[in-house]
Amino acid sequence: MIENFYKNRIIKFPKITLFVLFCIVTFLAFYIPRLSVDASAETLLLENDKDLIYTREINSRYDAPDFLVITYTPDAPLLSEKSLKNLKSLKKDLQSLNFVDNVVSILDVPLFKSPSKPLKELIQNIPTLESNSTDRNLAKAEFLSNPIYKNNLVGKDFITTAVVVNLKEDKRYKTLLDKKNATKKASDIKAFKDYREIQRAREHLNLQEIRDVMQKHSYDAQLFLGGVDMIADDMITYVKSDIKTYGSIVLVILLLMLYIVFRELKWVVIPIVISTASIVASTGLFGLLGFEVTVVSSNFISLQLIVTISIIIHLMVRYRELFITRNELSQEELILQTVTSILKPSFFAIITTIAGFSSLVFSGILPVIMLGWMMSLAITVSLIVIFLSFPAMLVLMKKSDKKVYFKTRVSLTALCSHLVEKHKKSVVFFSMLIFGISILYTFDIRVENSFINYFKKSTEIYKGMEVIDRSLGGTTPLDVIIDFPKPKDTPKKTVKKNATEDEFDEFEDEYNAIKNQNQYWFSADKMDVVRKVHSYLESIPEIGKVLSLGSVLELGRSLNDNKDLDDFALAMLYNELPQRFRKIVLSPYVNIKANQVRFSMRIVDSNPKLKRDRLLKKIKYDLVHKLGLKKENVHLSNLMVLYNNMLQSLFNSQIKTLGLMLVLLGIVFFILFRSWKVMLIAMIVNVIPISLIFGVMGYLDIPLDMMSITIASIAIGIAVDDTIHYLHRYKKEYAKDHDYVQAMKRSHQSVGYAMYYTSITIMIGFLVLVLSEFTPTIYFGLLTVLAMFSALVTDLLLLPALLLLVKPYKK
Amino acid sequence: MKSFLMILIFGVFFTLHANVEDDITNMIVQNSEKVTSILKDKSMPKAEQDKEIVRLVDPLFDFYLMGKLCLGKTIYTSLTKKQKSEFHVVFNRKIKESYINKLHLYTDEKLEFEKAKRIRKTRITLLSYLITKTEKKPVIYKFYENDEKKWLIYDVDIFGVSIVQTYRNQFSAALKTKSFEQFLEELDKDKSQ
């Protein structure tokens, strides 16, 4: 049936076939601009994460605007006239940007001890660095000792200061996000996505404007930009630029490699045209379907390229093999035989790869699910495009008169078959040894999500984040939220009353009526908890800066002759504090209505000893077991928790999906080869490259994170293709003379070359990624090369060795 | 005739009441003037100032009732006679210290008094204002009439914060985790509040 389809349709009407394909691809190409790259924090979070819902709730409850941090390191001393003048001018320029709400710097924060004044005088007129009465030497000492400013607004060395740029709240974004999350209606999702696109472009421009301002002020000082918004924007920029730059370099190298190997222009043109058409078609299809590329799925083009080139090379090698061995056949017949003999293994290879990627759909993590869908669809598109366009294109070309014999040029496959023939047991032994060692190193894999390590040390974002980490209190935000137990209502006892007790009751009623007023919330017992939690959190070395009501209490103590502020003073402070200071020192940390306090922290992302999951668990454990808080009253929130949740579930899902992937592979192998033995052999051969990838990651300390998590799927995708093509061919060769060794030799000299060429071409192409500025791209390049290499080695050595040892086929 | 009698009776009644409120207002105004002059007297050592102020304010306050109110009915009625008397000794000293400390913070500000107001049969409040350079801040003296028909202060609300209510919060919180003896010991030790 397939043969007839090819004979009567594709080969007979190649121009029509190509035209129809061209029309479809062109149609889909129009949808490419619709495909958006989304690397925002939102996409990296788990959809149904209860911590995400909690974090959103906390963020809306406390006064915590989005902000960017500019680190400012002047050439002159920080408090010199020149530095302050420049800082003032920088502040003025930033303030004039229309998206900036306000700018906080050392120039405008209140100074309480420069010089010291009685408290009531201070409250009436709080001085700043710019006030006439301020003594700069005292101000320096105050900046370095004030619990809110030290290691936050100024670095310990007093060389660097932070300029906090608070951004105007985007109410529309929040409204649309809330609506989308609440209704999950398609129209609301679309409205949100459309707005987010506009907002992202605007954010990008805003960052550019800030950078322009920084550039203007960079002559007398070193300035870096940091902040969560900036990380997201820079990641998108890197992902996009890597796709553009390295995508095209990889393509050029593939062209060169194809020419070096096949020495004919058509063998360069055909794979490139087909690969490009496949990628264009699938990218357009994703745009049409409203998919979004996230940092996790940004590798889909590379993956599709690998799989597509691999199939085309198998077709090309098979065609050339038939061309040499059956030269009497016409071009049409050669093509027909090529396509029909490769279609089945390719189809199964694709089915297994799709099975592998579809297992990602069960991960429960949206970006990973999307990667699963995207890869499955992309490979299907490739399969269709290849098997329609390859024969159609080739039939339009003349039958070549060149005869290129592979074995005269490359003898590596022959060397492999020789090695297997002579040392099959050693091959199996060494493979098992490598497997064992890899498994051991697999246990060293860290599940970490370090933003700072995504970027090379030479990049601006790395330098900025490092300065913020080292001098200004850390990068990734983490909140600890403590609920206070609800006050119990005074029990009404029915006791015998006398006249005095009646009078007592009158007073009791009077005080019960006012006891819940806000100013009385600041009781000594609550403040004790705040102080204890604050100093515990400050004692953790991985935490950069802790800001909370505890900082305010410490400041109050230092202004009150080193005596803690009592309930009366705190109630007074609450009532008397001007609104603008309340917004800075109270509302970000206290919510009286919710009867809870917030400890806002930043984690030192560049600390190499940082183990994020362990740190979060330790904080929660210690707050309950060492500080005696009730478990239900302690909550952790903010980005640190959300990213960690995603990573942990990525790790769990990786194990889950790998298990599922192996089961699916087993089923497909069994259906394909109809033999338990062959199925097991194929499974063993495919498990080793995966274990090697993980082992190398463990050995080189490459953390498993949202960027590297897809490598295992790629390894499987690559290894499986080679295994299926090899076994399919081997079975055919074995049927000829029932000689295991000869079948191996013939397979190595035919399909072996295709596998070898595919691997070499792709390995050299992907090595280019090592030059990227973006660490995940480098790891992706390295690990893909490793996956290709290990798949090639296991399929050319271990697979035949096991076949020779087990002898699974009946005579 | 009947109506004349009625007017006379009500007239006397209102006059009597007006007298109490006026008396209270006058008493506090005079008292505060004296206190202010003591506080402004730089030649007088602080310890002596404090002693003089206590002498002046002592007869105006019912520190015994304040102590009871600060502990709250439930706790207070559960105490033994001995505990109660020990508590009152400590609390009396503490509340006086605390009140005087607060007075020391505001030596230069002017005070303005409104006329005292009866809010219930046995309650009168006197609203005063502390005048700072920029604003007027309310200080309310709360009076009650005791069994001996004497009007005494049982609480002062400074800028919207009641002294008694803050102590109630503080004491009830402390007694949730400490025994009464521990609590009393800490209260006695802590001179800052």
Q: Is the pLDDT of residue A315 over 60?
A: yes
Residue type (1 letter), A811? K
Asked if B166 lies within 8 A of A576 by C-beta distance, the reply is no
Residue of chain A nearest B158, judged by CA positions: A572
Task: Give the number of other CB atoms < 10 A from CB of residue A428.
Answer: 18
A618 pLDDT exceeds 90? yes
Q: Calculate how close chain A gets to B16, using CA atoms only, in Å.
A: 24
Average pLDDT over residues A642-665: 79
Is the pLDDT at A462 greater than 90, yes or no? no
* Pick from A564, A567, A575: CB nearest B169: A567
Distances (CA, A) of A425 to A242, A629, A801, A808, A809: 44, 61, 7, 16, 19
Whether B5 has a pLDDT exceeding 50, the answer reads no
Q: How large is the average pLDDT for residues A540-562?
A: 88
What is the number of helices (H) and of strands (E) in chain B?
Answer: 7, 6
Residue of A308, A301, A310, A299 whose CA lies nearest to A723: A310
Instruction: Express as a percent the part of chain A with pLDDT over 70.
Output: 93
Distance of CA A790 to CAs A352, A417, A696, A755, B127, Å?
Answer: 19, 16, 12, 12, 87
Q: What is the pLDDT of residues A113-155, one digit of tens each?
A: 888 776 667 766 778 888 888 888 899 999 998 888 888 889 8
- pLDDT of the residue at A15: 93
More confident residue, A761 or A239: A761
Which amino acid is present at B185? E
Mean pLDDT of A429-451: 89
The DSSP line for A531-590 is: HHHHHHHHT-TTEEEEESHHHHHHHHHHHTTT----HHHHHHHHHHS-HHHHHHHTTTTE
Give residue A487's pLDDT band: very low, low, confident or very high (50, 70, 90).
low
Residue A477's SS3 state is strand
Which tens digits make up the pLDDT trace of B134-183?
Answer: 778 889 999 998 888 889 999 999 888 999 999 998 898 888 888 999 99
Which residue matches tokens 């002759």? A561
Q: Report residue B7's pLDDT band, with 50, 70 and 90 as the boundaries.
A: very low
Return the pLDDT at A45. Answer: 63
* Each residue's pLDDT tens digit, A99-120: 998 898 999 888 888 887 766 6
Segment A552-586, tens digit of pLDDT: 888 888 887 788 888 888 888 888 777 777 777 78
pLDDT in tens, A495-521: 444 555 566 778 888 888 888 888 889
Question: 3-state DSSP helix/strand/coil percent for chain B, to nearest 5?
Answer: 60, 20, 20
Q: What pLDDT shows up at residue A233?
A: 73
> For A511, which of B105, B165, B170 is closest by C-beta distance?
B165
Residue A758's pLDDT is 86
CA distance B154 to chain A (A): 10
Considering only CB atoms, B160 lies closest to which of A524, A525, A575, namely A575
Of A313-327, A416-430, A566-580, highest mean pLDDT: A416-430
Instruction: Please give the Cα distance from A146 to A547 (Å, whole number).
Output: 12
Cβ-Cβ contacts under 8 Å, A495 against chain B: 77
Contacts of A59 (CB under 8 A, 6+ apart): A638
> Is pLDDT larger for residue B126 or for residue B136?
B126
Select the residue from B165, B176, B177, B187 to test the A interface by mutation, using most A Cβ atoms within 10 A. Answer: B165
| Chain A residues near residue B76 by CB distance under 8 angstroms | 504
Is the pLDDT confidence value at A461 over 90? no
Question: Which range has highest mean pLDDT (A10-14, A362-366, A578-582)?
Answer: A10-14
Query: Does residue A77 have a cis peptide bond before it, meaning omega lies within 30 degrees of 0?
Result: no
Q: Tokens 């009385």 — which residue?
A: A520
Query: What does the pLDDT read at residue A617?
Result: 95
Higher pLDDT, A791 or A1: A791
In this complex, do A514 and B173 lie within 8 Å of one another by their Cβ atoms? no
What DSSP state is assigned to residue B61?
Answer: B
Q: Is the model's pLDDT at A364 over the cut of 80?
A: no
Question: Which whole number is the average pLDDT over A231-235?
Answer: 74
Residue A468 has pLDDT above 90, yes or no: no
CA distance linking residue B5 with residue B71, whole number of Å: 48
A68-72, A91-95, A244-248, A763-767 — most confident range: A91-95
Judging contacts by C-beta atoms under 8 Å, the chain A residues touching residue B159 are 572, 575-576
Residue A404 pLDDT: 58
Taking an 8 Å cut-off on Cβ atoms, the answer to whether A520 and B166 are in contact is yes
pLDDT interval class at B11 (50, 70, 90):
very low
Q: What is the pLDDT of residues A19-56, one digit of tens each?
A: 999 999 999 999 988 887 765 656 666 666 788 888 88
Average pLDDT on A412-431 reads: 92
Contact A568 B163 (CB under 8 A): yes
In A566-702, which ranges are continuous DSSP H helix? Answer: 567-576, 579-585, 612-625, 639-673, 676-699
Predicted pLDDT at A490? 52
Report whether pLDDT(A610) > 60: yes
Q: Are strands B110-113 and A634-637 parallel, antiparallel or unpaired?
A: unpaired
Q: What is the DSSP letter of A797?
A: I
Q: Flag whether pLDDT at A333 surpasses 50.
A: yes
Q: B-chain residues within 8 Å CB-CB of A493?
A: 74
Give chain A's contact residues with B (Cβ, < 8 Å): 118-120, 124, 490-491, 493, 495, 501, 504-505, 507-508, 511, 514-515, 519-520, 523-526, 563-564, 566-568, 571-572, 575-576
Ranking A83-97, A624-638, B58-72, B107-121 by mean pLDDT, the lowest is B107-121
Mean pLDDT within A79-89: 92
**Distance, CA of B63 to CA of B69 (rounded, Å):** 10
For chain B, give the percent of residues with pLDDT over 70. 88
Query: What share of chain A in percent tops pLDDT 90?
Result: 33
Report pLDDT for A209: 92
Distances (CA, A) of A765 to A455, A717, A751: 22, 18, 21
Mean pLDDT of chain A: 85
Question: Using 50, 70 and 90 to split pLDDT, how confident is the model at B20?
Answer: confident
* Residue A494 pLDDT > 60: no
* CB spacing of B161 vs A571 below 8 angstroms: yes
Listed in order, strand segments (DSSP E) in B62-190 are 110-113, 117-120, 123-131, 136-145, 151-158, 161-162
Strands (E) in A220-367, as ranges, are 221-226, 292-293
What mean pLDDT is predicted for residues A241-247? 78
Cross-sheet strand order for the sheet of A100-104: A100-104, A161-167, A67-74, A221-226
What number is the average pLDDT over the span A203-209? 87
Stretch among A383-387, A419-423, A800-804, B130-134 having the lowest mean pLDDT: B130-134
Provide the shortest C-alpha distance from residue B31 to chain A (in Å): 24
Average pLDDT over residues A617-627: 95
Mutation target among A508, A521, A523, A630 for the B interface, most CBs of B within 10 A: A523
Contact flag B161-A519 (C-beta cutoff 8 Å): yes
Residues of B with a Cβ under 8 Å from any A Cβ are: 65, 68-69, 72-74, 76-77, 98, 105-106, 132-134, 154, 158-170, 173-174, 176-177, 192-193
Q: Is the pLDDT score of A62 beyond 50? A: yes
Q: Closest approach of chain B CAs to the CA of A565, in angstroms?
A: 9
CA-to-CA separations, A663 to A352, A364, A446, A621, A683, in angstroms, rounded: 11, 19, 26, 38, 10
At B105-117, the pLDDT tens digits run: 776 778 888 888 8
pLDDT at position A354: 80
Cα angle for residues A509, B163, A489 (degrees, 5° grid): 35
Q: Cβ(A346)–Cβ(A360) under 8 Å? A: no
Quote the CA–CA distance of A26 and A19 in Å, as a whole number: 10
Q: Is it the case that residue A400 has pLDDT exceeding 80?
A: no
Cross-chain Cβ contact B165/A525 below 8 Å: no
| Predicted confidence band of residue A417 (pLDDT cuts 50, 70, 90) | very high
